[in-house]
Amino acid sequence: MAMPGARVRLLLAAALALVVLAAVAYLLWPRTQPLPDEPTAQLLAAAQGLDDVAVDAVFDPAKRTVQVTQRMTLTNRTGKAQQLLVLRAHANAFASEETSPAATEELYDACYADGFSEGYLTISAMRVAMQGLGVTDQAYAYTDDAGTVMELALPMVWGAGEALTLEAVYTVYIPEAAHRFGASDGVYSLGNAFLIPAPYVAGAYVTDAYFSIGEPFSSECRNYEVRLSLPQGYAVAGSAAPVSQMLEDGLETVRLYAPAVRDFALCISHEWKQAHMRHNGVLVMAYAKSTAHARSLLTYVAAALACYEARYGAYPYPAYTLCETTIPFDSMAYPALGMVSKSVVDAGGDALEQLVAREVAHQWWGTLIGTDQYNQPWQDEALCEFSLLEYWEMRKGKAAREALAYERLETAMRVTIPRGVTPGSPIDYFGDWSEYRVVVHGRGGAAMIALDLALEGGLNDFLALYYERYAFASATRADFETLLAGVTGEDWTPLLSDYLDTNLNN
- So what's the pLDDT on residue 416? 79
Cα gap 66→69, rounded to integer Å: 10
Phi, psi (deg, nearest 5) at residue 136? -135, 155
Alpha-carbon 152 to chain mean position: 25
Task: Say if residue 291's pLDDT is above 70.
Answer: yes
Amino acid identity, position 381: E
Condensed to tens digits (0 to 9), the pLDDT of residues 458-488 reads: 999 999 999 999 999 999 999 999 999 999 9
Residue 289: name the closest of 346, 353, 359, 351 by CA.
Answer: 346
pLDDT in tens, 126-170: 999 999 899 999 999 999 999 999 999 999 999 999 999 999 999
Classified as helix, coil or strand, 98 is coil
DSSP string for residues in 364-416 = TBTTTBB--TTT-THHHHHHHHHHHHHHHHHHH-HHHHHHHHIIIIIHHHHS-
At the top level of CATH, which class does the domain 378-500 belong to? mainly alpha
Per-residue model confidence as pLDDT tens digits over 292-347: 999 999 999 999 999 999 999 999 999 999 999 999 988 999 999 999 999 999 99
Element (H, E) at 177: none
Query: Residue 16: pLDDT above 50?
Result: no
- Average model confidence (pLDDT) for the chain? 92
> CB-side exposure of 309: number of CA atoms within 13 Å?
14
pLDDT (0 to 100) of residue 37: 87
Nearest-angstrom CA–CA distance, 324 and 187:
8
Flag whether pLDDT at 502 surpasses 80.
yes
What's the rounded mean pLDDT across residues 339-365? 97
Segment 271-287 mean pLDDT = 96
Please tell me the distance from the alpha carbon of residue 107 to that of residue 91, in angstroms, as a whole number: 17
| Cβ 345 vs Cβ 186: under 8 Å | no
Domain boundaries, the chain: 51-181+188-220, 378-500
**Secondary structure (3-state) at 287:** strand
**CA nearest neighbour of 316 among 37, 19, 4:** 37
Residue 64 makes CB contacts below 8 A (sequence gap 6+) with 173, 174, 175, 176, 183, 188
What class has domain 51-181+188-220? mainly beta
Confidence (pLDDT) at 3: 36
The string of DSSP codes covering 14-76 is HHHHHHHHHHHHHHHS-TTS--PPPPPHHHHHHHTT--EEEEEEEEETTTTEEEEEEEEEEE-
The band of 250, judged by pLDDT with boundaries at 50, 70 and 90, is: confident
Closest by CA position to 57, among listed 194, 179, 262, 250 = 194
